Structure 1
């Protein structure tokens, strides 16, 4: 014996209105009550008081009815304001009161000819808007039956000729008005609920976007066409060194953020795909709308995107920022880990066999004089020299020599360096331009700075056109007042792809390079509390435009007596 499962019929519960819709209904009921109070006052003045030859005379029945109606309207308004419960019950009582009062006044005024039948439209319209359709039609039927009954009563009992046609037309108008107003109100309520739901979804989406943007590692800034910063996520404030929720400011107002402002202005003039690389130098801003401080330079990768506002707002752009310094340092540390193990045994394991190979090559060169043999010996000798130079660079990295703490005068140092470099490479004196540093002094070991600049100039001479001033060395001041030394040539700039690996050990684009020159130069700068970086600066070009140009920049740690000295941005 088996039992079939008992399936109960599914009962679909009515969908309750949203909190926003309920609040709207209570506000509408309050408006309905206020309108009732105004109508009660007008009826009291119009029907309760009449002008005669002997003066003002009150109509007792009408006056009492209107006063009671006014007091009841005030009570209903108070109840609806302070006790927001039983909406349909309150609305039904109010509509019943309206119909009763209007019917009494209608009878007292003489029936259809008084014209007071139009007052029924007030409670019926309120019922059509606020009440269910059944309740609104019930109220309309009550009003219609009363008008028809009053007309029949006059016809049958009082032997009068009432306007039955007019009473019927009023009844038809009541039903038609209730249906039309109820449908329109229902549609408006649905639209309001839909708008409320969309607003809730939008607020939830905004909260989700806020969490994602606040937690994302890339910096995001919303900037106007005039450079005004409207908002930014915590990552952007951290990269720029802004303190907390900074007030609205413009990028151009902050000297420390000038590279970002220049990159954004250049993109606005010529929007293009790809990214821009800038370096935010150490700065401190305590005045004006900007509050920020940065103690270490940050190398940022900037990407720009235009917000399509379809003409409804001013131009907005989004700046995506990525701090590539951490990525570069991580890649550098990975290579240093393997290089450190190599450095420990490189003197005995590499230099001794390398010396033997070099000595054997020199002995063979004394006995072999054929062109083919000399070419092969030259290849061996060149590669031995290359490997020996790499070994020397690696060993030099492990020697952390304490730098000289005495201030170094740049004027005399750069003059001697220029003379030596031009003589070594047989260059005309006007090819290398050296800016006047004045009396600027920096804290840097002379031998270390000599090696760093020779390395940078050696790279520059390979790409420069050797025209007058094709190689430039000039000092400058950053936003924090620290002295910088720029090394620039007129050759093609370094691409962003190469820039991302420029200071990594063993990375080179030259077949004859070891990939350790720039890395060694940066390490020597760090050993002297200075910074070496390749930066993209924006220089004034022809026709008043600004174009990006790359250069190596050494940021010095100034001696105490020079750290507080001011000066122009470019000397």
Structure 2
């Protein structure tokens, strides 16, 4: 089958070249073939019954016609029952002889044996139609030519038998032959056109199915929620993102549910009613209230589907966007420009800051008044603080992942973690909440002590913010992984995070709280990566006083210090691994 060059679409070929024959549909061809074979057998049975009635009524005592009809019926029935459907060839092969040839021969024999009493010429339309529909145009014209030759032969034979007006016989043969040619051509063209239309319809249906599957896949994978709601507030369809935004209620898990069934969805229902009432698209910020959790702000856009006819029902398509996701994307887009700007500002601040510190030191040497001395000390302290901030901004903006950074420090993890946790307990006054589990063996990692303090204090502050007030609600563990790497774990029995929050957990300026800057975990990740370490979040389970308790766990995996790279062996790892698993 040939296609036009412009007939290609994204879902495959869609249009056929006009006039191209297409009969490669097995089911359709089999149906047509069996229909023609059944018609042949039925016609043979009718002819046999007709000749039998004529014989028994005494109108004719010839048995030749009965034998011809019986033979034709037997041949047609045997082809119908024994031969499998097969496409007619373009030549006069055995299949043509067993079907069209038998028909032409049998009808010619009937016409010749009957004489002039009954005209069997209309029966020749059956083989001509069969050749036109089941075969090619050449075969159809050949069948029409064969029928015409038979009719002319019969006319010549009749002119010899009845030497009267012979012109009428030849004129009738010519007229019938011309009709056979017209029927064969038109039937073949109609059959070809119908086959093309059917094939085009099948390809269109295939394209529609493919497009529907692709649309469903795209809608299912969208991060924005999509709801299809009718005028009664019944949700006809909802993608996973929309179901997650609506909450984890049991009625959300079914295929269709009612927006009015949950009070927290009233804002969506009101916006849907407003869209139908004004018959136009709407946009608004809606608050979805979840049972047992805080409210969630979403931006909702509605679009009404156009009714195809008067009886069709219009639907409202609602597009839901989590505002926290939108704000996170906006903050991420600003991050690159802010990073470049902060690095440039930090470079510009360094020189005047050094001049201020130097001038303050010179001024402090000439001052004797204690009050003036106190002022210069305040200037010195804040100048040092600004200098540290500038260094941190530059370090984070550079995002250095070089191995030289990690190789320049060798830190004993056990002692550093114990000291940082002890200091944090004193400042946070949470001695009963914190439980520290340290490995009995010394673990040396390549990490700067001050950066480790910042990471651990940040994780402990986050854990205290969401943990309960129970005993040992926060647990810090230090040990080795199965690969012999140093590991630091901070676990708390806080509630599980929303997937929208977990997805952007380590992104800058993203926080589930309005008062938080959203830079804590981002700085922890950057500091870890700067030393060749990694940080990850897991939802894990711990044993507290004999009961399994789920909680949030942050695990920092360190890179070994240079002095420990060659000392790690599988035998050394085994006791540390079992110890670490025992405290998880």
TM-score with structure 1 setting the length:
0.49
TM-score with structure 2 setting the length:
0.48
